[in-house]
Structures are given as structure tokens and as C-alpha cells.
Chains A and B, each alone.
Chain A
């Protein structure tokens, strides 16, 4: 009857039955092991598949991979790999910032090239007039700003009108690449040469090397940025807001996150880091920009960013792996007389296997068998019996 509710009823909570106290993550190590395994297996499988491909092409996989190892690591060649890592790490950091928010900034080529062009455009004058460290810092900022500015249009369109940023960043990328080329051939053209390229930053003004190595300090800058950013993304409110938005935009709105500001902020950060990656690369390695030059670091780094599951600490070894593969592979492919595009085949294979492993892992996590039912039936029944039955 109604009596029970008139008196303040006993609280509906039985404290004895309450949730267990937080235990110190029992499956933590296991999760880590599984994740690591799931990230490494695609790489290993891709290398094996690459070996099979080499065999089919009549090349020796043993020779190829040992060449990759020799030219990528041995005899101080690891230092070249480390130099390549610098821009790749910053590019990866830039992508992680947006991907964590489930925003696709695919305009990295333009953002990189614009940053690069402004560095070589203003660099020579600044180094001539200002002390080198000041010029370096200012050039870093200019490059970062150039990259960030190129994200503003897609960022605002996405934040205020929900326009798909995949399309807008790609469009802006086409425009930006051409703008960069116009700058190279126009205002920043080196008047002393006939080929379309910018002035060259004097060797003495390039970023100094880490003492005792041929690795420029840009590598340390990149590692530092990655570490700081990792901390920002995992330990601060900004990182959590980004993640909440990335996982569930409706929840972000519900809990009162300023979604528009978040979108614009992460875009700007991403563009800035890409510009920074260009500055480090130009001031550390290239020293000038030719027209139609485009290293397209973003494309090569994307698979590894996902293999690392958007975790910046895990990004470092993967980028190192790619740097070695790329540095050593340049010569190794020549040695077996294959085009360097073969390296892209390996990267593509990694992506392919990653998708397969992810699919299987997900089925496993759902408690299903590794193989789909149709596939199992197909394997179980020999071909001729299947024919008869149908």
C-alpha cells in the first residue's frame, strides 16, 4: 500500500553490495601485451609477405633485408634514420592531435610545404641580420603559424557548419601546394639559378648537430614535443576533452564542452605542428625547396599512427622502424634493382595486415571464433563436396 513511501524509506543502496574497491588494474599487463602483439604482428606479416614478393620477383629477400639493416642502421647509418625521424615524429604528433578528436586533417602536404617555403623564403634574410638562435625560433614560429593558418578555413567550416573536414582539408591542400609552388617560382625564387628553386640557407646557419653525431638538434626538438604532447593528451583536461569529443561528440555537447573551440584548437595545433615539422626538416636537412617537391610525410606516417593506436609514446618506435626501412630501403632497393616504390608496397602491406588483425581481434573480443562462419564452412568442406551439395 501507499504507506511505505510516506515515511522516508530506507535508501535503496546496500553498502555491503556496493561495487568492489578499485583494484590496481588486474588485466593491465595483459592488455598491454595483447596490444603490443596486435601492433607488431602486422609489421612482421608485412615483412614476410614482402619477402615472398621478392622471391616471386626473383630477388633474394635475405639480401634485401640485410641491406635494409646495413644501410639503415649499421656503420652510423642509424644517424641518417634518426634525421629522417625528426619531421616524421612531428607530423605524427600533429596527426594524433586531430585523430584523437576524430577529426581528419588530411591537408598535411600543403601545411608542410607552406611552412617549408616560408622558412626558406625568410630564412636567408633573417640569418643575415639576426643572431642565429633568434632567427631559428622566429622561423619555427613562422612555419608553425603558416601551417596553422592553412587549417583555419576547414576548422571554421567544420566547427560552425559541420562541413566534412576530409573534403575541405584535401581541397585546401591542393590549393596550398600550388600556392607554395607559386611562392617558390615567384617571390622566393633564387635569382642566381635558372631552375625553379628557392634561395639556400647557408650551411653555417643550419641547425647544429648533437655533439659527436651527424644528427641535428631538430631530432631532440621532435622527441621533446612528442613527449610533452603525450603528457598533454593523456594527463590533462584538454586531452580528455579531445578524447570525449572524438569518442562521442554528442556526449561532448551534453557535458558542456565548448565543441567549436575544441575543433578549432585541435586543428590549429595540428597545423602548427606540421609547420614545425617543416621548419625542423628544412633547417636541419634540406636548406632549400625546389618547385614541385613534396616529401608527403603525412601519407607515410598515417599507418604507423594507427598502428600505435594514437598513442604518441608508441609512435616513436614505429616511426623509427619506418625511418630505418626508408633510409636503408633507398639503397637496398637499388641493390636488388627495384624501384623505391617497393617500400610503399611494404607500408601498404602493413596497413592491410593491420586491418585483418584488427578484424580478427575484434571478433575475438566479442567472444566469437576467429574465422567467420562462411569461411569455416568453406575450409571444412572440400571443394568437390560443396559442388555436389549445391
Chain B
């Protein structure tokens, strides 16, 4: 890439404002990113990051303000405009079409020519792959790839037309520690080639690890920018303190949970001084026992192979692993949504192999799914019905097959209060809630009415700090109340914070189990890498 003589930023947003009915999403936002720079945009959910990005990528038009590219004003009216200027965006949620191959997905952004030029597309893909330092099979079906792999395809797609600016919207929320490292390498590669990168996150350590500059958004406004010199000169804890103040404001100190929030941030960041959750007493009663369970996967994603594990009352068993290594199959085979091909699954000492989802649920088994929008809720049904979705037909909510509207309403109202689900009314359609509130809804549904064993699948994926901390607290309380929990997560920090024992899943097998302790992270990392062919592989 040729570096032009002008010193103007690759992209500059000047005085951007955008309002939606009832919300001022962006209020006079100034933001710029230079060539070869990673500029991090930090802020809580609802701070206006996504709006700003959708303006930059042509999905929305600002009410006022202007966008300068290399110092010259441009009008971005559609995603096509943005792409042709060379602004590519990778969204938090996948925009790939699962049924198409990788190459076909990439070619969707091609010009409007009639004939598809596959040869050229293949070459372009090779170029970008080497630019990113990754390898993806162009002919595999996109839906069969693991999420981390899909993200690399998304990045390639964003860079397809040009690589002036790359916008990454919470790119690490679905990656493993190794995946994050890989992404960081990709970013360094891109920086060297002069691409300007906007990196959106609400994880502080990531922001500090990758960015040259950090800008904090709060309630639609830019509340502060931390320059490169500042990041270099001051030490981490100072910057952290500064960012936390910027993100949550001075008034955050007055909020009851602010102190807790701050400690939690430090706790998550500072791996050394961690509190280690207790391992379960060996004499506690086993609530769940899997013996050599094998179940098929979906498409190319592995199922589970010969998995054995035990969860005792009061224990949180963590399951670590790179995304797409059989996590969903494991969760579903326990929940009863997927049949085991062989092996036995025992709940409270009795085999449940032949029982379906609702029969297992009646025994006290709960499953908090990771596919919250896809299978967790029914968007067009009310919040109250979604809260009782797993109890359809059961007394006291249904009597003789007939719904007891008053009972449903009062229970839903109580749950909405208890779990702090922000919804206008309980009759609101569940699909209109925000991601965090949908997760709270699912937790309320699963954890109400005496759970004895709960399977959590990526329970904090994509949630903001506050909600994440709420969810983790819920897991903790659940275990201290004597229930068992299986916590499947790709967030290693989360596992180390909550689980006493951590099993590592790789290609559908449990490749090892690690007691939580000072060197747990390294040992888990080694086990994770073990099967990917790195030196020192564990058999």
C-alpha cells in the first residue's frame, strides 16, 4: 500500500449526531483514526458505539456532522459506498450466509457484473489470507466452520474491496485466548501494511493490549481520549482507573454496585491475585455423571466423543475449549436435546438416557443456551410467555390445558423484578429486548423453581460488564445454594473465576481436567493447544 503524503487521518468523524425516537444515540461525536493505527472505542452497551459504526459503514446516516476520508469530506449513503471507499466492517453477529461456501460469501461483495469470476476471487482470497496470515479452505461451507474461523472470513470479506479502514465490533467476544492472540497478530500485520483499525470492545485488557489510542464513549458522547504517549508512559493500573472513571463516570461511585464493578474489573484483569473458587468436596453427592458418552455433531462441527465427567452438588465444573470443539453437543446431550449414541448419562444416580428435554427438566436439570435468539426465545411472544416457555401445560400455570393468565402474569412480574429484566411491560414482545435483558430473561426462566443442575453455555458472551458480573454472581450463588453447575465457556478468565475444576474439551473429547489454582491457566492453555499440534502435546 502506498502511503500518501497527506497527514490527514484515514477517517475522521466530525460532530456526528444521530437520534432515534426517544434516544440520542450519538451526540456531537468526534473520532478519527490514522493509517497504521489501532484506535480503540470503549464504552458500555448502549454508549453509542454501534450507532457510530453503523454510520461509518453506511447502515445509518447521521442527523448532522461530517465524515472526512484522507481529509476530504465524503458522503456514505450505503454499505456499498463504505466498501468502495475502503471501509470494511466486521460485525459482532455473523453476516455470512451459512449455506454458501467461503468463496461464495466473499464474492457477495463483488461488483454487479453478471458472470462470477471465481479464479480472480480465489486469487484475491489468497492475497488477503496471506495478508492476515491465516488459512481458510475457500470451498468449505461457511456454516460448518467454527465461529472463530467464520470471523476470519468476515475480516477477509471486509477487506475485499480495499483496506483503508477496518472496523471490528467486539471481535473477541467469540474467541478463545489463543484466538485473541491470533487476532492480535493479524492486527499487527494489517497495521504494518497501513490499514487503519477501529477496535470496539468493552474489555479493558484487550483495549490495552492492542490499541495505540483509546477513546471512551458514554451516553453517546466522547468523554475522553487516551493518547499513545499516555498509554506508553503511564502504567496499566493508572490507565485502568482513568478508563473506568471515563466509562462509568464520577457518579458511578455513588451507585451501590460501582465498587463491586471496579473490583471485578481488577479481579478479571489481575490474574495473579485471584480468588480461587473451592473445589467440591469429594463426598458431596454427584448430581450429574456422564460415562463414555458419544453423540453426533452438526455438519463438520464435532460432537462429543467418549466423554466422562462428574458434577457434585455445590460444584461448578468448568468446560474450557476453543469454540466449535463440541461445546454445543455436550450441552445438548446433557439437556436432552441431542440423543447420545452410546454411554450413560445419570442424573441424581438414575440413568436419563431415554428421557427427553422436559422429563429431565422436571428432575431439576436446566440449560441456559448460548443460542439466545435462535432457540432461547420466541421473539413474537410476550416476555411473560417466554418466561414460562418451558412449563407449557404444567400446573399451576395451566389447568386442564387452559392457561391461567393471572398466575402467569404474577409469576412473570415477580421474575422480571427479581432478575431486573428491563422491559416496558410483561406483555412486550421478547424480541424487542436488548441482548443483556434477553439473557436475564433466559436465566430467570431456567433458574426459577428449584434448579438442581444447570448447564450454562457461554453465559456472558456478548454481554456488557455490568450484566456479565450479574450473571457470574448468579452462578456463584447457585453453587453456594447447593446446586451443581456445568459452565461451558470460551472465556478462560470466567472459568478461572467461577469453576473449581476445569475440564478441557478438544475435538469433542475431554483431553484433561485441571484443578483451579495458580498455574491453572497455563495448564489449560497447554491442554487446549495439545491437540492442535503444538510441541509438548498431551496425549
Residues on A lying within 8 angstroms of B by beta carbon are 1-6, 8-15, 17-23, 25-26, 235-238, 240-241, 243-244, 247-248, 250-251, 253-258, 367
Is A12 touching B257 in the complex (CB atoms < 8 A)? yes
Complex CA–CA separation, A255 to B337 (angstroms): 9
Complex CA–CA separation, A233 to B427 (angstroms): 18
- Main secondary structure on A side of the interface with B: loop
Within 8 A of A (CB), among B46-68: none
User: Across the interface, which residues of A come within 8 angstroms of B480, CB to CB?
Assistant: 8
Is A22 touching B376 in the complex (CB atoms < 8 A)? no
Query: Is B306 located at the chain interface by the 8 A CB criterion?
Result: no
Interchain residue pairs with CB less than 8 A apart (12): A4-B259, A4-B264, A5-B264, A9-B260, A14-B256, A19-B416, A19-B420, A23-B425, A235-B403, A243-B381, A248-B374, A256-B359
B253-294 Cβ-contact flags toward A at 8 Å (1 or 0) = 000110110011011000001110000000000000000000
Complex CA–CA separation, A8 to B421 (angstroms): 22
A-B CB proximity, top 4 nearest: A256-B357, A256-B358, A18-B417, A237-B393
The residue from B337, B385, B398 contacting A253, defined by CB atoms under 8 A apart: B337
B333-367 Cβ-contact flags toward A at 8 Å (1 or 0) = 00011000000000000000000111101000001
Closest to A240 in B: B392
Closest to A26 in B: B425
Residue of B356, B378, B423 with highest tally of chain A CB at under 10 A: B378
User: Across the interface, which residues of A come within 8 angstroms of B476, CB to CB?
Assistant: 5, 9
- B interface, size bucket: 35 or more
Complex CA–CA separation, A9 to B421 (angstroms): 20
Is A22 touching B267 in the complex (CB atoms < 8 A)? no
The residue from B377, B422, B427 contacting A251, defined by CB atoms under 8 A apart: B377
- New contact pairs (7) apart from A4-B263, A5-B476, CB-CB < 8 Å: A4-B264, A13-B417, A15-B417, A19-B417, A23-B425, A251-B389, A367-B21
Q: A19-B413, A19-B417 are in contact. Are A254 and B474 (CB under 8 A)?
A: no
User: Across the interface, which residues of B come within 8 angstroms of A3, CB to CB?
Assistant: 263
Closest to B20 in A: A367
Is B401 touching A248 in the complex (CB atoms < 8 A)? no
Query: Is B135 located at the chain interface by the 8 A CB criterion?
Result: no
Complex CA–CA separation, A22 to B406 (angstroms): 11
The residue from B260, B336, B425, B473 contacting A20, defined by CB atoms under 8 A apart: B425
Complex CA–CA separation, A71 to B484 (angstroms): 72
Complex CA–CA separation, A241 to B385 (angstroms): 11
Complex CA–CA separation, A26 to B393 (angstroms): 28
User: Across the interface, which residues of A come within 8 angstroms of B374, CB to CB?
Assistant: 248, 250-251
Query: Is B137 located at the chain interface by the 8 A CB criterion?
Result: no
Query: Is B477 located at the chain interface by the 8 A CB criterion?
Result: yes
Complex CA–CA separation, A12 to B420 (angstroms): 8
Min C-beta distance of A144 to chain B, whole Å: 21
Min C-beta distance of B314 to chain A, whole Å: 14
Residue of B256, B274, B425 with highest tally of chain A CB at under 10 A: B425
Is A251 touching B375 in the complex (CB atoms < 8 A)? yes
Complex CA–CA separation, A367 to B22 (angstroms): 12
Query: Is B384 located at the chain interface by the 8 A CB criterion?
Result: yes
Is A255 touching B413 in the complex (CB atoms < 8 A)? no
Residues on B lying within 8 angstroms of A by beta carbon are 20-21, 256-257, 259-260, 263-264, 266-267, 273-275, 336-337, 356-359, 361, 367, 369, 371, 374-381, 384-385, 389-390, 392-393, 398, 401-403, 409, 412-413, 416-427, 469-470, 473-474, 476-477, 480
Is A248 touching B379 in the complex (CB atoms < 8 A)? yes
User: Across the interface, which residues of A come within 8 angstroms of B425, CB to CB?
Assistant: 19-20, 22-23, 25-26
Complex CA–CA separation, A65 to B105 (angstroms): 54
Min C-beta distance of B299 to chain A, whole Å: 15
Q: A237-B403, A256-B336 are in contact. Are A2 and B274 (CB under 8 A)?
A: yes
Closest to B358 in A: A256
User: Across the interface, which residues of A come within 8 angstroms of B474, CB to CB?
Assistant: 12
Residue of A9, A12, A20, A250 with highest tally of chain B CB at under 10 A: A12
Is A254 touching B376 in the complex (CB atoms < 8 A)? yes
Min C-beta distance of A11 to chain B, whole Å: 8
User: Across the interface, which residues of A come within 8 angstroms of B367, CB to CB?
Assistant: 254
Is A256 touching B356 in the complex (CB atoms < 8 A)? yes
The residue from B257, B418, B427 contacting A25, defined by CB atoms under 8 A apart: B427
Residue of A10, A13, A255 with highest tally of chain B CB at under 10 A: A255
Is B413 touching A21 in the complex (CB atoms < 8 A)? yes
Min C-beta distance of A24 to chain B, whole Å: 9
Complex CA–CA separation, A272 to B291 (angstroms): 46
The residue from A9, A22, A247 contacting B379, defined by CB atoms under 8 A apart: A247
Min C-beta distance of A15 to chain B, whole Å: 6
Closest to A249 in B: B375
Q: A1-B267, A247-B378 are in contact. Are A237 and B401 (CB under 8 A)?
A: yes
Complex CA–CA separation, A9 to B361 (angstroms): 29
User: Across the interface, which residues of A come within 8 angstroms of B419, CB to CB?
Assistant: 13
The residue from A1, A240, A251 contacting B403, defined by CB atoms under 8 A apart: A240
Min C-beta distance of B461 to chain A, whole Å: 17
User: Across the interface, which residues of B come within 8 angstroms of A244, CB to CB?
Assistant: 378, 381, 389, 392
Is A20 touching B418 in the complex (CB atoms < 8 A)? no
Is A241 touching B392 in the complex (CB atoms < 8 A)? yes
Is A256 touching B393 in the complex (CB atoms < 8 A)? no
Is B371 touching A22 in the complex (CB atoms < 8 A)? no
Complex CA–CA separation, A20 to B423 (angstroms): 8
Complex CA–CA separation, A339 to B60 (angstroms): 51
The residue from B259, B356, B413, B421 contacting A22, defined by CB atoms under 8 A apart: B413
Is A254 touching B369 in the complex (CB atoms < 8 A)? yes
Complex CA–CA separation, A330 to B417 (angstroms): 60
User: Across the interface, which residues of B come within 8 angstroms of A5, CB to CB?
Assistant: 263-264, 267, 275, 476
User: Across the interface, which residues of A come within 8 angstroms of B336, CB to CB?
Assistant: 256
Is A2 touching B401 in the complex (CB atoms < 8 A)? no
Complex CA–CA separation, A243 to B385 (angstroms): 11
Complex CA–CA separation, A79 to B372 (angstroms): 53
Min C-beta distance of B479 to chain A, whole Å: 12
Is B402 touching A235 in the complex (CB atoms < 8 A)? yes
The residue from A9, A25, A367 contacting B473, defined by CB atoms under 8 A apart: A9
User: Across the interface, which residues of B come within 8 angstroms of A10, CB to CB?
Assistant: 256-257, 260
Q: A12-B420, A18-B418, A240-B385 are in contact. Are A255 and B357 (CB under 8 A)?
A: yes
